[in-house]
Amino acid sequence: MFVLIKIISEAVFQALQELWNNRLRTFLSVLGITIGIFCVIAVQMMVESVQRNVKQSFQRLGDDVVYVDRFPWSEDPSANWWKYIRRPFPKLNEFKAIQEKVPSAAAVTLRIIVRGQDLKYHSNSIENVPMAAGTHDFGSIFNLEFEEGRFFNQIESQVGSNVIILGNTLATQLFPSVSAAIGREVRMSGKKLRVVGVLKREGKSLLGDGFDEIAFLPYNYMRRYVDTNSENMMPLVAVKAAEGVSIEQLKDDITSVLRAERKLKPKEEDNFALNQMSLLTAVIDNVFAVINFAGFIIGIFAILVGGFGIANIMFVSVKERTGIIGIKKSLGAKNYFILIEFLVEAIFLCILGGFLGLVLVWLLSLLGNNFIESFKLAVSVKNIQTGIMLSVIVGILAGFIPALSAARMNPVEAIRQRF
């Protein structure tokens, strides 16, 4: 064991000597590994960062929530567009039926989107604000977090009170000089609405600004002014599973109720889709897996070029040290001693290139975060481990043949060639 440690330490020392004595040659050889590791890890970092951001944006959908819609999230809508477009949207009577007849549901909400509304407070106004009109369980199902105030309660939802919850950006634009928005009255199309809550700022993401630029009103309030059964409102029913109830059980219960409400015959196909977050995440994972694989393949070509460079420098190193190899073997050095010595040197050079590549990726993440607002780039521990592992593998592959040729040298012939 002590001998092995000594061989490895000497190999690292000789690698450092080669690095210093042949700086330009070593730099050019290591550069290929650096570029290869940079390409692979940079792509992985970007994909992971984007994927993490998208999943965080979807987290509010909840793992225990089922969404009643026309289109299934697991399919490409364009593939069966005419089939799904003819399906009816969820309606108020279906929402009430699920609420009353599905005991496995802890909360049920119906939501519509009303666009083109203007909000005003004194001289401040915001045009074309999207309004999400929903029932009182909307806030709990989507885990809304508040800067101040609250979501509207069940009574306000049932009677259709003139209350409103503002996204953080909307509140900032309407009340730039007011410390508290709660209790203030804003106007929507000339109608007064009392602010009861302001959401926490979510910031930009790849999917937009979240709820920062959306206002929320009770569904029954909006029913007085718009046709809530219109397809333009994009109605959606969300059902949260009760504690201890599986998603599959909840979907079975919802299916039974909806088929009865829509009077579907036993042999008729469902004309609705029951979606859940896992369907989205599965699609996202598949997409990013393809992107990651493509980036990995591109990076591998760069690493192969670097590997050939390392192999070349190791052959040169073996040639230059032929006499020393012969002397060592004539003094009793075993073949595997020589093999390990040159193999460790090749691995060390590749790890050095990999380390420089990781440093470049880290610098790229710092630079990128100064310009990208929608998500944050970060070099994960997994990225670092992958970079080091690839460097070691390339070092073994690139250094094995030169090391083997050195180990198999005849000591007499080696000494004669050198001297």
Q: Which of 238, 5, 37, 227 is nearest to 144 (CA)?
A: 238
Copy the structure tokens of residue 357. Answer: 């590549």
Q: What is the pLDDT of residue 18?
A: 66
Please tell me what DSSP assigns to residue 403: H
How far apart CA 307 and CA 287 sit, in angstroms, is 30
Q: What is the pLDDT of residue 259?
A: 92
Max mean pLDDT range (57-71, 119-133, 319-333): 119-133
Please give the helix or strand (H or E) that residue 73 lies within, else none: none
Kindly indicate the confidence band of residue 418, based on its pLDDT and cuts at 50, 70 and 90: low
Terminal alpha carbon distance of the chain: 33
Q: What is the pLDDT of residue 19?
A: 66
| Parallel, antiparallel or unpaired: strands 163-166 and 65-69 | unpaired
- Burial bucket for residue 263 (CB in 10 Å: 0-12, 13-18, 19+): exposed
Kindly indicate the confidence band of residue 266, based on its pLDDT and cuts at 50, 70 and 90: confident
Contact 173, 158 (CB under 8 A): no
Q: Which residues pair with 238 in a beta bridge?
A: 67, 109
Task: Please tell me the pTM assigned to this model.
Answer: 0.67
Give 328-372 pLDDT, tens digit per residue: 777 777 777 778 778 888 888 888 888 999 999 999 888 888 877
Q: What is the pLDDT of residue 223?
A: 87
Instruction: Judge whether residue 11 has pLDDT over 70.
Output: no
Mean pLDDT (whole number) for 268-277? 86
Q: What is the pLDDT of residue 178?
A: 62
